[in-house]
Structure 1
Amino acid sequence: MADAGPKKEKRTVFRLAAVGIGLLPLVLLEAGLRLFLPADDHSDPYAGFGGNVPVFNLDGDTYRTANGREPFLAPQEFSATKSTNGLRVFCFGGSTVFGRPFHSATAFPRWLELQLQAESPGRRVEVVNCGGISYASYRIVPMLRECLQYEPDVMVLATGHNEFLEDRTYSSLKARSAITVALDSLRIVRTGRKWLARTPQKEAPDARNAGFVTRLDAESGYASYKRDPEWRRRVLTQFEEAIQQIIRDCRAAAVPLLIVRLGSNLRDCPPFKSEHRANLSADEEAHWQLLIDQARDAEKAKPSDAMEYYRQALEIDAEHALTHYRMARVLDRLDDPKAAEHYYEAKDEDVCPLRMFESQANYLKVVAEQYSLPFVDADSHLRDLSNEGLPGFDWYLDHVHPTIGGHQEIALLIADALRRRFPDLGDKWDSTSQRTIYENHFSGLRFNYLSDGGRRLDWLEDWARRAKLADEVLPNSADGFVRLGVRRMDFGALPEALFAFSRAVELDGSVRDKIREHRAQMRAYGRGESANAIKDSKESGNENP
């Protein structure tokens, strides 16, 4: 019995050695794959959670966007060795930062870089666009952590619209165990998975393929959105946690963080999905529907009557988002300031919330004040530039994506904030320099750049099931036709834009002043040719509106 202990130890050692010998081929294969195969930066549905897919790869003396991050991130590059007098800015967010429905060439990070370089010609300015299509805030956290290694001078954060679009889909991935994360990091596992998945993937123009799935990508995606207060609360909590984590990471690295509060389209964007309140009886719903039908019939000829019908319908169900939107449109036509209240209610009661809630927007301001962070209120700025403080197609191309001029305005705001942070940046450029640089940049865009953006927007609106509500955004006033004309100009659809301006003038000749104002804006934004087309055309109701 005295020999039992040593014999047991020998058996244990033998078994461990046998296991080790059995695993040795796998260890050698893993080492060989890592040694002889290029870095595997394929599109990975776990990107942003496991931290195993980089945002940028080193290519010689330049960092470039990893192939696996496209098409979700725009191709970007910056020097591996930062200039001694360089200024390096990283901008994080979703598709607005990316530049959708166009590309990064007309997104605010690009306009910001052009301005800062013009104002500081002796410095090397690099503004890196890290906007990810459909990226929610928690996906930004690991990206920002990586970019803190690249000697940034400031981080710009503009997020909030995608929290309910992408979060729910990836809840199971975020809950993966440490063992699963470790296995997914092995080159054998990743190569084997790639070899087994031999079915070719369609090339994705946006976020629908390449392993990136959002709720709206599925056939049942739109239907899956239901009124769920608890789910909303959890998502908003996670949003706040992600913002707090980003702030902690920047503070730990002693890198300034600038927060941008983005806005959204209020006037020309009906809610994506509406639902009745809970416990609405059949009789109540029938009465509600009767009132809605009466309101719709009265809208054109008797808007005051329509307003009263909508008011009664909201007394039955104050949670129906589309009713609020229709009420707002009627009040807007009557120049009633209460329209704003219902536009905001329509947004916040949206069951498919692709525009950030007011609570999110307010949280960004509160947290910036709490930590004394630079804060750019793009939302308020574009509202201030809109009639009655209610932006529509005049500043947003769809539900959240700003016009090109809107991006330029956001860049100007950020540049002002950075100039306060870095006094040695140089004097603010004058209007002539601004216009010249903008014009030169536009002249370098490909000829179909704007029209491609229009086609991409058509795809996006189909993806978001907007055809269901197409009638809700038809212009019902002269101002509505002016906004439609502005939107069409951004996509290079000149004849269609001029037709919209003409209809506006037919309804109300006083809108010529608004058309003149837009023409002046386009000149300031470097689009003099388009501005001249408005001036010279007779389609706007006047040879020189």
Structure 2
Amino acid sequence: MTTVFGLLAIELVLALIGVGRSNAQGDPMMGFSKQVPLLERFTDEDGKVWMRTAENKLVWFNDQRFPLTKPANTQRIFCLGGSTTFGRPYDDNTSFAGWLREWLRHVDASSHHEVFNAGGVSYASYRVAAVMEELADHDPDLFIVYTGQNEFLERRTYADFFEQSKTQLWLTGLLSQTRMYAAIDSIIRKNDQPKHATESITLAAEVDERLNHTVGPSDYIRDEEWSDKVGEHFRFNIQRMITIARSANAKILFVVPASNEKDCSPFKPDPEDDSFESARQAFDAGDFDLAHSAFQSAIDRDICPLRAPSDFAQFIRELPESDDVRVLDFESALRDVCLDEHGHDILGEEYFLDHVHPTIDAHRRLSQWLVSELRDAGWLTADSIAWNELSRESVDRVDQTVLGRIDRRTQGIAMRNLAKVMHWAGKFEVAAPRARDAIKMLNGDAESQFILADCLRWTGQIDEAVIEFERGVKDYPVYCRGVQRYGQLLLEMGDNDAAREMFSIATIGWPESDPRHWGARFQLSIAHLGASDFEAAHRELLRCHEHAPDDLDVMFALAEASAGIGKSEVAVELYERVLDEFPDDVETHLNLGYTLLRLNQTSQASMHFETALLLAPDNVRAKAGVVVISQLNESTK
């Protein structure tokens, strides 16, 4: 008891001498290589001092600003989260923060509202919390947080943190709110260098997505233990944000995230899980309850989880509300709208541009629901009005203000970029409509045209793909990347002559210093082989072989071309070099066997046919080769 009274006395003394509580509850799981502030101070030409988004942060954040000194009768609102808060694929103008800023001018006109969009592209909860710590020093009144979609984007490991009990974690959080903690922490920070070695996870100063280092989501594997720890870390940071807000005497409103479940398949589906296919079948059959659960299971079982799992959303949904903490269930509200408009509550392309980013209209709806939530919580002035009580003129003015800021070309480029990302990720069913949007908004666009055609190709709509590719070649005949893709489709279709024309254009278009030149030249040679033009194939492949003498694909094709023009000895040598690296390659054994037959080297040919048959007992060419050898042996007796 004496110890408790002593601690309270120290708290009282620290309060009297002006030591405040810490605004930050540190994350014991995370260490950043360096803290790069979101904000920088600047003075305008009138001498007014502002805080604005730092120039080196504009890759991830909108260009925003607010006065260093908050004016009287002003409510300062910071909107935090990832790319949805940012407004992707567009920007702040049409984000829920941008809409909210305009609504508040009309529904709460007696007060001034600063709405600062602090959404960071690809920012997960731990980075959002770090931004929130910085913003807590700037006299906030309210934080609005939309997070949960980006938790699995970055590599990180967890060491000793999860060996702590929940009681230990709670006690650490409680103590971090005291003045004594703030004073000790301040002293430590001044005298100690930050430690990142094993005590915490060290992350780069900015987001380093795993997807940046791979072609598609191949880097992700099933790891239940790691996923559980990511979930625990997410829940910790949500609680941490509440602590930060309270330490700054601010309120906080969490938004339950929503995702496109119906029209975006898993980024890396579990081979043993058919939830998405089952969901689609149930949806088509009108069994929406079964479809709902199956779609959610597909999201939860995605090996590359780029949408918030259901337990993340449920955790936010179940947060205890209070005078300073509220929750807006965006997902449920959007489902209600979907049910009313479409007769089911399965969220899809009607409300999302891709897997998670809402349409402009969905952002608008969210902003309206935020206004309602703020009024219900009593966080707006007493004479504020509901958004649905605004005059038609006021509503039209808000719509005109927000939508009038949209630049059609900028919007088209955003759609093109979104199509590119989704195409890269293998989400062709999502990329195709965005490519169509870009073509329309940009009044034609080469890259978008060929992305659309390629998406149709990969979704099995071959006739439609050919039509779009032909349109692209007609309108953009020297767009090498698209022409080359069309050549690949023609090659798959067996139209070697047309493929040769496309690859010839690409070969001429790409300079030899560009690796794509050599890819196109190699594909041209394969088309020549398919057309049995061995002379042309040999000519192109010699160039490729000179450029990449150790490339085994080139070596294999060159062997085939050499055999085709009668240079069987050269072909044998090349095939043997391939087998040195891949001794179990069936096709090489077979090609070498038939080439040796032409040279009347039956015993060596027989060995390769037998090897091929051992490796692939049902291979027709191998069986035929063995029969030929047997007949030759019979004829020589």
Aligned equivalent of 1:341: 293
How many angstroms apart in 2 are the aligned matches of 1:385 and 1:84? 38
Asked if structure 1 preserves the Cα contact closer than 8 Å seen for 2:415 and 2:435, the reply is no
Asked if structure 2 preserves the Cα contact closer than 8 Å seen for 1:137 and 1:239, the reply is yes
Aligned equivalent of 1:252: 247
> Is 1:424 aligned to 2:412, yes or no?
no
Q: Shift in Å at residue 494 of structure 1?
A: 9.7
Q: Shift in Å at residue 108 of structure 1?
A: 0.5
SS of the residue corresponding to residue 129 of structure 1 reads strand
Q: Shift in Å at residue 448 of structure 1?
A: 1.3
Q: Deviations over 1:350-370 (max 9, x none)?
A: 010000011000000112448
Amino acid at match of 1:341: S
Aligned equivalent of 2:238: 243
Q: Shift in Å at residue 240 of structure 1?
A: 0.5
| Selected match of 1:378 from 330, 334, 342 | 330
Aligned equivalent of 1:229: 224
Q: Shift in Å at residue 52 of structure 1?
A: 3.0
Over the matched positions of the two proteins, sequence identity in percent amounts to: 30
How many angstroms apart in 1 are the aligned matches of 2:89 and 2:431? 19
> Is 1:150 aligned to 2:127, yes or no?
no
Amino acid at match of 2:374: L
> Is 1:59 aligned to 2:42, yes or no?
yes
Q: Deviations over 1:446-501 (max 9, x none)?
A: 231321220121232145x12xx525998xxxxxxxxx6999499848999xxxxx
> Is 1:332 aligned to 2:283, yes or no?
yes
Q: Shift in Å at residue 256 of structure 1?
A: 0.6
Structure 2 counterparts to residues 302-321 of structure 1, below 5 A: 317=272, 320=273
Structure 2 counterparts to residues 372-411 of structure 1, below 5 A: 373-386=325-338, 387=342, 388-411=344-367
Amino acid at match of 2:402: H
Structure 2 counterparts to residues 10-89 of structure 1, below 5 A: 49=32, 52-60=35-43, 61-89=49-77
Structure 2 counterparts to residues 112-261 of structure 1, below 5 A: 112-166=100-154, 168-169=155-156, 181=194, 212-219=207-214, 222-261=217-256
> Is 1:107 aligned to 2:95, yes or no?
yes
Q: Shift in Å at residue 100 of structure 1?
A: 0.6
Asked if structure 1 preserves the Cα contact closer than 8 Å seen for 2:422 and 2:430, the reply is no
Distance 1:254 1:170, change over 3 A: same
> Is 1:415 aligned to 2:403, yes or no?
no
Distance 1:236 1:127, change over 3 A: same
SS of the residue corresponding to residue 451 of structure 1 reads helix
Amino acid at match of 2:233: Q
Structure 2 counterparts to residues 488-507 of structure 1, below 5 A: 488=437, 492=441
Q: Deviations over 1:155-212 (max 9, x none)?
A: 111100000012x25879x9xx99774899xxxxxxxxxxxxxxxxxxxxxxxx9964
How many angstroms apart in 2 are the aligned matches of 1:408 and 1:472? 22
Q: Deviations over 1:122-165 (max 9, x none)?
A: 43221001101111101111211111111111111110000001
How many angstroms apart in 1 are the aligned matches of 2:224 and 2:83? 26
The structure with the largest alpha-carbon Rg is 2
> Is 1:360 aligned to 2:321, yes or no?
no
Amino acid at match of 1:395: Y
Amino acid at match of 1:396: F
Q: Deviations over 1:268-292 (max 9, x none)?
A: 010000224xxxxxxxxxxxxxxxx
Paired residues, number: 367
Q: Which runs of 4+ in 1 moved over 4 A?
A: 169-172, 177-180, 471-474, 484-496
Asked if structure 1 preserves the Cα contact closer than 8 Å seen for 2:254 and 2:326, the reply is yes
> Is 1:461 aligned to 2:416, yes or no?
no
Distance 1:432 1:134, change over 3 A: same
> Is 1:433 aligned to 2:394, yes or no?
yes
Distance 1:451 1:352, change over 3 A: same
How many angstroms apart in 2 are the aligned matches of 1:221 and 1:91? 30
How many angstroms apart in 2 are the aligned matches of 1:358 and 1:446? 36
Asked if structure 2 preserves the Cα contact closer than 8 Å seen for 1:169 and 1:215, the reply is no
Asked if structure 2 preserves the Cα contact closer than 8 Å seen for 1:137 and 1:160, the reply is yes
TM-score, normalised with respect to structure 1: 0.62
Asked if structure 1 preserves the Cα contact closer than 8 Å seen for 2:419 and 2:430, the reply is no
Asked if structure 2 preserves the Cα contact closer than 8 Å seen for 1:394 and 1:487, the reply is no
TM-score, normalised with respect to structure 2: 0.53
How many angstroms apart in 2 are the aligned matches of 1:254 and 1:84? 17
SS of the residue corresponding to residue 150 of structure 1 reads coil
Distance 1:135 1:471, change over 3 A: closer
How many angstroms apart in 2 are the aligned matches of 1:491 and 1:376? 35
How many angstroms apart in 2 are the aligned matches of 1:150 and 1:472? 40
Structure 2 counterparts to residues 501-516 of structure 1, below 5 A: none
How many angstroms apart in 2 are the aligned matches of 1:169 and 1:221? 19
How many angstroms apart in 2 are the aligned matches of 1:412 and 1:435? 14
SS of the residue corresponding to residue 87 of structure 1 reads strand
SS of the residue corresponding to residue 399 of structure 1 reads coil
> Is 1:267 aligned to 2:267, yes or no?
no
Asked if structure 1 preserves the Cα contact closer than 8 Å seen for 2:145 and 2:254, the reply is yes
How many angstroms apart in 2 are the aligned matches of 1:433 and 1:125? 17
Distance 1:355 1:491, change over 3 A: farther
Q: Shift in Å at residue 436 of structure 1?
A: 2.3
Amino acid at match of 2:397: T
Greater mean deviation of Cα atoms: 325-334 or 429-438: 429-438
How many angstroms apart in 2 are the aligned matches of 1:210 and 1:235? 19
Amino acid at match of 1:362: Q
How many angstroms apart in 1 are the aligned matches of 2:403 and 2:443? 16
Q: Shift in Å at residue 216 of structure 1?
A: 0.5
Amino acid at match of 1:143: V
Asked if structure 1 preserves the Cα contact closer than 8 Å seen for 2:412 and 2:438, the reply is no
Q: Deviations over 1:371-407 (max 9, x none)?
A: 8721111111111111310111100100000000010
Q: Shift in Å at residue 53 of structure 1?
A: 1.8
Distance 1:447 1:125, change over 3 A: same
How many angstroms apart in 2 are the aligned matches of 1:425 and 1:491? 45
Amino acid at match of 1:402: P
Q: Deviations over 1:237-268 (max 9, x none)?
A: 00011111111121222211111111000110
